[in-house]
Amino acid sequence: MSELLDYIDKNHDAAVDRLKELLSIPSVSTDPHYQNDVQICADFLVDLIKNDLGLKAETLETPGHPVVFVKTGDEDVSNPDAPRVLFYGHYDVQPPDPEDLWESPAFEPVVKDGKVYARGACDDKGQVTCFLEALRALKATRKDGELPCHVTLVIEGEEECGSEHLPKFIKDNVDKLGADICLVCDTSMWNATTPAITYALRGLLYFDVQLHGPSRDLHSGVFGGTLANPCNILARVLGNLFDDKNRINIPGFYDEVDPITDEEKSSWDRLSFDENEFLGDVDAKPYGEHRYTTLERRWGRPSCDVNGIYGGYMGKGAKTVIPSFAGAKVSFRIPSSMDPVRTAKLFTDWLNNQPVADLKWKLESHGVAYPVATPLDSPYIQPAIEAIEAIAGKKPALVREGATIPIVADFKQILGLDSLLIGFGLESDAIHSPNEHFGLDRHKLGIKTLATLLENFSKMKKV
């Protein structure tokens, strides 16, 4: 192990140069103007993996942007009987806008104060290269240049525009993607010195709900008080979504919610999470479901949010109208024990049973994303804990996440794979914002940790 870690230390400057070259490619997936650059980025990765790492790499086409695909053979590894790791990441990035707020051009990476600044520095090119550089170091320091265990890489080019084509890609390539555990490095550390293993993600439901009334907007002086106002009625319905304890007022909604275990509560208490500090940056106070802490509400409980309300006159000044319709965007985040399809039906049935006079509902679902959870007694968690502790000098935080990564649920549903989410970003890295950056100390930490993790996996037998 000392030879491996020494190699990473001595060659990290070269690893950063390779990262900067990757970051200079403007692989913005959502903007057709950059379509050719996305292809260039995919080809760059394939060439790097083939020429530098000596592994078989190719681009596999989708109706959108290609997937960079790598799969080792028995000749590439020292222990073909060890578990196979499926690594997932993405090479596409967010648009750089607003460009005038960048201190240096978004696609001209610069290093200053121990950080590399560029679009994609943390999300996700920097973290993808942590894994690639771990493979490089392992091949360079192990006998005959073999990797310790089998790996499959799926590095997609559409994550930042919704991964529209990846679920079908997975279904069409089940035989190619067979593995024992999935590894995702697109998440954050608990804090600047403590890595985290994220073992659960909440699911997501999103709806556009509209109440329709009169055939056109009406003069409120002439018609006010004579008919049902869609804005008034919708406001009342949305208010009825919650009781005075901030619980969601839908019958049966909580029937599938598993209680947070005492073990998890104790584990979370040891994280010394400061809810006031967490909310202080956005100038807000803790608020939510009664009798639960902020961390419990964020990680282990369902939530509902009205993300926007619209209808009638919304311009400057006054216009006295009764609107013909009113609408709202409503989303739910649900923990791993809840079925999003059932939850969606509960919500739509509840809406249709609300008293709305003679108004008519128009409901549109923007889809569901399933929640996921890797059991804490999974045989793959302990090797990850040991790898992190060996490199970081402390045990990782075992955390859930309130947000959603839909593709992780697809890996579970389609391939039957649990996932370890071990990322090295920080919330302060300005992902999706101007001046995105990634600390080079955390880049090196990621390389060392992932290399050690693969070594640990090589000592296991397939479950």
Of 274-288, 310-324, 362-376, 429-443, which gets the smallest average pLDDT? 274-288
**How many other CB atoms are there within 10 angstroms of residue 246's CB atom?**
15
**How many other CB atoms are there within 10 angstroms of residue 280's CB atom?**
11
Q: Assign domain 203-257+302-369 to a CATH class.
A: alpha beta
pLDDT at 463 over 80: no
Q: What is the pLDDT of residue 1?
A: 79
* pLDDT tens track for 139-158: 999 988 999 999 999 999 99
Q: Do 359 and 228 form a contact (C-beta atoms < 8 A)? A: yes
CATH for the 2-201+372-458 domain, from 3.40.640.10, 3.40.50.80, 3.40.630.10, 3.40.50.720: 3.40.630.10
Of 138-142, 207-211, 276-280, 371-375, which gets the smallest average pLDDT? 276-280
Q: Do 252 and 295 form a contact (C-beta atoms < 8 A)? A: no
118-146 CB burial, b ≥16 within 10 A, e <16: bbbbbbbbbbbbbbbbbbbbbbebbeeeb
pLDDT at 462 over 90: no
Model confidence band, residue 461 (pLDDT cutoffs 50, 70, 90): confident
Contacts of 300 (CB under 8 A, 6+ apart): 260, 264, 335, 400
Measured CA to CA, the distance from residue 400 to residue 422 in angstroms comes to: 12
Chain center to CA of 45: 22
What phi, psi does 251 have (nearest 5°)? -55, 135
* pLDDT tens track for 389-443: 999 999 999 999 998 888 999 999 999 999 999 999 998 999 999 999 999 999 9
Model confidence band, residue 254 (pLDDT cutoffs 50, 70, 90): very high
* pLDDT tens track for 193-214: 999 999 999 999 999 999 999 9
Mean residue pLDDT of the chain comes to 96
pTM for this one? 0.91
187 exposed, middle or buried (CB, 10 Å; 0-12, 13-18, 19+)? buried
Give the tokens for residue 3. Answer: 């030879």
Q: What is the pLDDT of residue 4?
A: 97
Measured CA to CA, the distance from residue 115 to residue 102 in angstroms comes to: 15
Model confidence band, residue 333 (pLDDT cutoffs 50, 70, 90): very high
* pLDDT tens track for 29-69: 999 999 999 999 999 999 999 999 999 999 999 999 999 99
Contacts of 158 (CB under 8 A, 6+ apart): 29, 62, 64, 65, 90, 92, 164, 165, 166
Model confidence band, residue 280 (pLDDT cutoffs 50, 70, 90): confident
Residue 90 one-letter amino acid: H
Q: What is the pLDDT of residue 242?
A: 97
Give the tokens for residue 5. Answer: 């870690």
Mean pLDDT of 291-314: 96
* pLDDT tens track for 69-127: 999 999 999 999 999 999 999 999 999 999 999 999 999 999 999 999 999 999 999 99
Domain layout of the chain by residue ranges? 2-201+372-458, 203-257+302-369
Mean pLDDT of 220-225: 96
Give the tokens for residue 363. Answer: 């409901």
